Structure 1
Amino acid sequence: MSAILQKSVLPRITERRRHQRVKVNLLGRFMLENKQEYPCQVINMSPGGVAMITPIRGEIGERVIAYIDHIGRIEGKIVRKIEGGFAITVDATMRKRDKLASQLTWLANRHILDLPEDRRHERRQPKNPITKLILEDGSEHICRVLDLSLSGAAVKTKVRPRVGQAIHVGKIRARVVRHLDDGLAIEFAAIQQRDKIDENLR
């Protein structure tokens, strides 16, 4: 019996250790089997699993499709419930898992280096710096965009939403990555198109 137990338990332990979890703070949306979409916040992730904070918790074994900022589309099944959300296993090919591992390595290194965005995107002044900052509660605040790139911006404002909070700047979905002396550093949920970014900021 001990030999049987050893064979059945050891592979699962090896599988868990092979996928190192990375602490992240990524926004996204997910869909349960009822086909309804909900927002989510991924708090840690590995190529084999994801833990997310969600407004609704599905059932163990329920299939989930999620679209995560900087990661893309993932699929899996709920394996356990956590405080404020649930964890899923990632159903993916080895090639997809390798891609996820590379994405997570980049995200981990970015946070270690304290890079709020990809520095390859050149920063510039917006054509019209005045826009609206829209918070999670729907409140709107006039703000000034000090500079921006395709992946983020510095905004002058008196409001101080918490770091990690989802916001909108004009029509662009974003999140707060750092507090500045007179405003916020924000990261866009998706890389913006160069010819449309100014229009989307209005």
Structure 2
Amino acid sequence: MANSMKTIASKCFPKAIQVTDRFHVQKLALEALQNIRIKHRWDAIDQENQQIKQAKTQGEQFVPKEFSNGDTRKQLLARSRYLLYKAPSNWTQNQSERSKILFAEYPDIKVAFDLVQGLRNIFNTATTIQTAYTKLAHWHKDVEASGFKSFQTVANSISVNYRSILNYFINKSTNASAESFNAKIKAFRAQFRGVKNVEFFLYRLTTIFA
């Protein structure tokens, strides 16, 4: 969504339809969700440190409270990181149990998680630009109702780039193939601990991959 990339694309390919990759849009929403989790984790760490200090002053041994799955509050927030990236259908049994405790203890994380899943469902289910536009408008209203500043930033970014984001729904194009090829180039370069002769390196890439 960088303006510099849009300028490069428009100059190099003036007749092409620009598409903002859905995964970059979803990544913004996931980062907003993780920021909420991280804030709660820092609060839990601070709370536990205060309890440890208080126990020491009273000459007692601090024993942290554990939830039904054996996690302490601090562990619960730390170990919930990866389950928040997944759809509920892809959770393991442990992740499903942990999510129930997490959402019960932190309802705001549940609201933020639902916003992320709602955005993901728009990309998965919408079949036309018109349908996607309507669903994104409803999602924007849900973001406003939530009051999350981080998600409001995501919604504003979507509003600014909505044309290129909606272009995804023309034929659901992504840059997955380009990202895959880029990974192959990086792995190929890493085998030789870097590149000194760029021209020869490009020749080898052309010979092997073209």
Q: TM-score, normalised by structure 1?
A: 0.26
Higher alpha-carbon Rg: 2
Question: Which fold has the larger relative contact order, with Cα–Cα distance below 8 Å and residues 6 or more apart in sequence?
Answer: 2
Higher helix share: 2
Identify, as 1 or 2, the structure richer in strand. Answer: 1
TM-score, normalised on structure 2? Answer: 0.25
